[in-house]
Amino acid sequence: MAPKITVIGTGYLGATHAAAMAELGFEVLGLDVVPEKIELLSSGRVPMYEPGLEDLLRRHVAGIDGATGRLRFTTSYEEVADFGDVHFVCVNTPQKHGEYACDMSYVDSAVESLAPLLRRPALVVGKSTVPVGSAARLAARLLELAPAGEAAELAWNPEFLREGFAVQDTLHPDRIVVGVTSKQAEKQLREVYASPIGEGSPFVVTDFPTAELVKTSANSFLATKISFINAMAEVCEAADGDVVKLAEAIGHDERIGKKFLRAGIGFGGGCLPKDIRAFMARAGELGADQALTFLREVDSINMRRRGHMVELAREAVGGSFLGKRVAVLGAAFKPDSDDVRDSPALNVAGQIHLQGAQVTVYDPKGMENARALFPTLGYAPSALDAARGAHAVLHLTEWREFRDLDPQEVGAVVDERRILDGRNALDPQVWREADWTYRALGRPRI
C-alpha cells in the first residue's frame, strides 16, 4: 500500500510539498501550529503568493468541490502520528537574533512533539535547511523518545525549491538528495519519489552530513556567483566597462554558464543571506572556519550593493534627498513572489526614506507584507501612481510589469525623467530614446 504522508510546517516549503504529494497520488495530512493558517489552507487558500500553488491545493483539499480529497490539514500532532508512515519536517530555520547561527527551535520542537507519539513504524524526513550535524543529533533524540523504538527512523532530504517556481521545482525536481542510514529508509523514499525518479530526476543517496551539506553548499555557490558578478560590476563602474556585456560574454563559456550572473542590488530573501551566515557559524563550531571566510566577503559585497544603490540615487537627485520624491518599483526580494524577507529593494527604500526623501513604493504582490514591515514608507496602487511627481524612479525588483512600462507614459507623470535600474533588467536604449537619464549598476553612464 502507498505510504501515508504528513507534512509538518505549512510555509512556502511545506504547503507546496503537501500539495505536490497529493498531486502525486498520496494521502496527505499537513500540520501547522498556527490555527489561522490551517483554517485558510483547509478552505483551499494559500497564505502567500506562489504561482500555481492555490490551483494545486484546490485540486486536492478535502471538502472543495471537485477536489480529490487526498489533502487535509490539522493542528494535532496526535492525528499526524496516527495517520502517517512518512513524516516530512518542513518548518523554517531563521537566523538567530544578533547571531549568524540559525535558530533550530522550530525543528527541535517538531521532533520533540512528534516523536513521543510515534507508536508504529514511521520515517521522519527532515527537509528544513539545518546546520550539518543536526540530523545525527535528531536521529538520536527520535530513538530516545519514540515508543516505536528503532522502527521510527530519521532521513534527511533537503529541499531546493525556488520561490516563484515552487510548484514546478517540487513536482519536477532537478535532483533528489537523501541522507539515510538504512536500506529501508532509501526504499521508502524511492517509493515516495517514484514519479519524479521515473521522469529522470537523479536520486542521490548519501549519509546525513553530506545531505545537509549539499543544501548549504549549493546556496553558498549561488550566492558566490551573484556576488562575483556584483564585484565585477564594481570594477566595471570604476573602469567604465559594462557588466551586462561582460556577464553575457563570460556566460558563453559552458563551464561558467549564463545563469545567476545578473548584476544588481544583490540577493535577499529567506534563504541565501541567512544560509551562508549559518554555514559560516557552523564551520566555526567545527573548527573549519577558515574554509568559509570567503563567504564573509560574498556577504559584504552583497550588502554593499544596497548602499551603493542609495548613493547613486542620492547623486541622481543632486546630492541630497531632502525634499525629494523617490519612486521605488518593487518591494519583494525577487519577482513572482510576495516575500519581502531581507529584500534588497525594501532595504534601499528604507534607507532613502531615513535620509529624508519622500519614498513611494509599488509592488505587484508584495504590498501587504512590505507595509507590515515598513509602515512609514508611502505606498501607491500602481507603478504610475508611485512615479507621480518623482525626482527619480528606482527599479529594484524585476517584475515583467516594469519591463512592459511605457517610458513616455511614465515620463508624463514624473517631475524628472531619471531612472536607476537596480536589476539591469530594463532596456537602456528604450528609456534613453524617451529622454530619460538611465543609470544602472556596473554600466557606463551614457
Annotated catalytic sites, by residue?
271
List 4, 59, 96, 262, residue binding ligand UDX (CB under 6 A): 262
* Nearest residue (CB) to ligand UDX, 92 versus 188: 92
Task: Count the residues of the shown chain that bind ligand UDX, applying the rule CB under 6 A.
Answer: 19
Bridge partner residues of 123 (DSSP):
86, 153
Applying CB under 6 A, the span of 54-62, 96-104, 118-126, 255-263 interacting with ligand UDX comes to: 255-263
Q: Is 226 in the site for ligand UDX (CB under 6 A)?
A: yes
Per DSSP (E only), the strands in 356-442 are 358-362, 378-379, 392-395, 418-421, 437-440
Applying CB under 6 A, the span of 37-45, 149-157, 257-265, 369-377 interacting with ligand UDX comes to: 257-265
List 127, 274, 306, 334, residue binding ligand UDX (CB under 6 A): 334
Q: Which residue in 12, 55, 60, 4 sits closest to 37, CA to CA?
A: 12
Write the secondary structure of 112-157 as one string of H (helix), E (strand) and C (coil): HHHHHHCCCCEEEEECCCCCCCHHHHHHHHHHHHCCCHHHEEEEEC
Q: 3-class DSSP state for residue 439?
A: strand
Q: Answer for the pair 312, 305: CB distance below 8 angstroms, yes or no.
A: no
Cα separation, 125 vs 154, in Å, equals: 6
Q: Which residue in 411, 394, 405 sits closest to 427, CA to CA?
A: 405
Q: Is 269 in the site for ligand UDX (CB under 6 A)?
A: yes
* Nearest residue (CB) to ligand UDX, 44 versus 335: 335
- CA distances (Å), origin 120, targets 111, 151, 252: 16, 7, 54
* Nearest residue (CB) to ligand UDX, 84 versus 422: 422
**Closest distance to ligand UDX from the beta carbon of 191 (Å):** 24
Q: Is 212 in the site for ligand UDX (CB under 6 A)?
A: no
Cell numbers given for 1: 500500500
List 9, 264, 350, 366, residue binding ligand UDX (CB under 6 A): 264
Cα separation, 317 vs 325, in Å, equals: 9
List 33, 112, 116, 160, residue binding ligand UDX (CB under 6 A): 160
Q: Is 271 in the site for ligand UDX (CB under 6 A)?
A: yes
List 261, 316, 359, 383, residue binding ligand UDX (CB under 6 A): 261
**Closest distance to ligand UDX from the beta carbon of 306 (Å):** 11
Torsion sign, CA atoms 234, 236, 239, 242: negative
* Nearest residue (CB) to ligand UDX, 30 versus 335: 335
Cell numbers given for 216: 548549504
List 59, 96, 141, 162, residue binding ligand UDX (CB under 6 A): 162
* Nearest residue (CB) to ligand UDX, 193 versus 333: 333
Q: Which residue in 343, 312, 313 sits closest to 330, CA to CA?
A: 343
* Nearest residue (CB) to ligand UDX, 114 versus 223: 223
Applying CB under 6 A, the span of 98-106, 156-164, 311-319, 352-360 interacting with ligand UDX comes to: 156-164
Q: Which residue in 201, 131, 216 sits closest to 169, CA to CA?
A: 201
**Residue-wise DSSP of 271-334:** SHHHHHHHHHHHHHHTT-GGGGHHHHHHHHHHHHHHHHHHHHHHHHTTS--TT-EEEEE--SSS
Q: Is 333 in the site for ligand UDX (CB under 6 A)?
A: yes
**Closest distance to ligand UDX from the beta carbon of 382 (Å):** 22
Cα separation, 199 vs 181, in Å, equals: 26
**Closest distance to ligand UDX from the beta carbon of 260 (Å):** 4
Residues in contact with ligand UDX by CB under 6 A are 160-163, 219, 222, 226, 260-262, 264, 266-269, 271-272, 333-334
